[in-house]
Amino acid sequence: MTERVSVFSAVALCDADKARIEKNFGKKHSGNVTFSYTVDASLLGGLLIIDGNDYYDCTVAGRLAKVKRTLQ
């Protein structure tokens, strides 16, 4: 079964960054993994990685939203 990992970033990632992501997430899965990369400037910076049901939000926009929720 092929697993899908979606990577969103504010700017295009270089090949070295993509290789590092693929190496780290490839270790997590025993089968084939396909990666998709999408540029989304609204993230402001950082990465958003969706791996099946796991959601890794390390974006500036995500951090700002967390601060906003905390202050309300």
pLDDT given for residue 4 in this prediction: 93
Q: Are the beta carbons of 7 and 43 closer than 8 angstroms? A: no
pLDDT given for residue 28 in this prediction: 84
Q: CA Rg, the chain, in Å?
A: 14
For 19-30, the pLDDT digits (tens) are 999 998 888 887
> Checking DSSP bridges between strand 3-9 and strand 54-59, what pairing results, if any?
unpaired
pLDDT given for residue 8 in this prediction: 98
Q: Is the pLDDT of residue 59 over 90?
A: yes
* pTM for the predicted model, two decimal places: 0.87
Tokens 């989304």 sit on residue: 40
